[in-house]
Amino acid sequence: MKKIIFFSFFLISCSSKDFKLPSIKSESRYPRLSPTKNNGMLMSWFEKIDSLNWAINWSEFSDGEWSKNQTISKDKDYFVNWADFPSIYHFGGDTIAAHWLQKSGQGSYDYDIKVITSYDRGNNWSKPKTPHLDGVKGEHGFVSFFKNLNDQLGLVWLDGRNMGGSHSEDEYGSMNLYQTTFTSNGELNLEMRIDDMVCECCPTSAIRTENALLIAYRNRSVKEIRDINIIRYSKGTWYEPYAVNKDNWEIAGCPVNGPMLANYENELAIAWYTSPNQTPTVSVSFSMNEGESFEAPFKVDLSQPIGRVDLIWINNNEVIVSWIESSDSTTNILARIVSKNGKMYQPQIISKVEPGRVSGYPQMEIVDDQLFFAWTEGGVEGGIKSKWVSVSEFR
């Protein structure tokens, strides 16, 4: 007899702490969060100017308040996409970096990465720089920023210079993984290819510990196995990529579902989605050796996950993982606490969302004992939605 397991969870209410929500116009899209070193965060997003044009805006949360919205860039020929969207990154001090994707040709996937930096906390921005030097009209995106072991600003991206002009079978080459860094005076160093065959459109993730830089991404083998890989830089060497877990997910096309790394000092956690044998799963795994290896994963979903994970440490023993999951009647953003020994609390519903891709990748950040969530909703009254939730509500 098949064993049936029933789960109970509730839509958690907004936090009682007097943290305000950002003021964002309707029809805005795709927030991206970045923690700051003063227990706050930055948020960037697409904001609609008119029926044809967008701006990329940002705001900072500090001391319980959101700053006045400011514009990073506007009136560009942006590539606007639910999975591959602009970001903002706090490098340290008053240095901030941001990126967007700008159309470079007539093809659906012809777009370049544009990176700008500010050394006065967003009052002035540099001219945009393109980190890839190939000049190919093709896909370049899914950027993750990082600080390397020499304290330089770096970024990693998926690079389609060898794919051809589209994702059609007739022009289906190999997506590459590239990285580069900026010098201390803002000049770009040479780009470097670090994997020559990866999944075509899954977001990347990058994190630094004391002695290592780690990049997580979805790999692609010649047999169409698309598991999550780690490539690690330490002691002056890029080590060979390895699979976080041998899920052996064989799938002919990209699932558009990337991993998320997080660290607490030199301990790491990673969350990801997989679906071998049509068994969708969201898993979390921990590393106690700065990413040299990861331990056996813990399954955290309720059996119908869609994925699109986020992950954050809340203390030296526990993380909170969020993801999107379907139920019999609704689609929900869920989150739950997972400890290093595998102990888990019941999942909580952050919000109901429309099914499909409009919700993008929900974002999560922590300030004191409060979690901030931001996502996109569709419909006439749609746009970016957000809420604060106390960590205690997850226990």
Please state the domain extents for the chain: 29-394
Give the least confident one: 130-144, 165-179, 290-304. 165-179
Q: Is 262 helix (H, G, I), strand (E, B) or coil?
A: strand
pLDDT value of residue 1: 38
pLDDT value of residue 261: 98
The tokens of 192 are what? 């470097």
> Is residue 11 over pLDDT 50?
yes
* Cβ(243)–Cβ(269) below 8 Å: no
Per-residue pLDDT tens over the stretch 339-383: 999 999 999 999 999 888 989 999 999 999 999 999 999 876 679
Question: What CATH number has the domain spanning 29-394?
Answer: 2.120.10.10
Q: Where are the alpha helices (DSSP H) in 241-358?
A: none
Alpha carbon distance 173, 309 (integer Å): 27
Nearest to 176 by CA among 190, 155, 188, 159: 159
pTM above the 0.85 mark?
A: yes
If you average pLDDT over every residue of the chain, what do you get? 93
pLDDT value of residue 51: 82
> Is residue 45 over pLDDT 90?
yes
Contact residues for 163 (Cβ-Cβ < 8 A; gap 6+): 138, 139, 171, 172, 173, 174, 175, 200
> Is residue 10 over pLDDT 70?
no
Per-residue pLDDT tens over the stretch 119-156: 999 999 999 999 999 999 999 999 999 999 999 999 99
Alpha carbon distance 152, 180 (integer Å): 10
Per-residue pLDDT tens over the stretch 183-205: 988 899 999 999 999 999 999 99
Strand residue runs (E) in 36-86? 41-48, 54-62, 65-66, 70-74
Residue-wise DSSP of 312-331: EESSSSEEEEEEEEE-SS-E
pLDDT value of residue 33: 98
Higher pLDDT: 167 or 309? It is: 309
Per-residue pLDDT tens over the stretch 231-249: 999 999 999 999 999 999 9
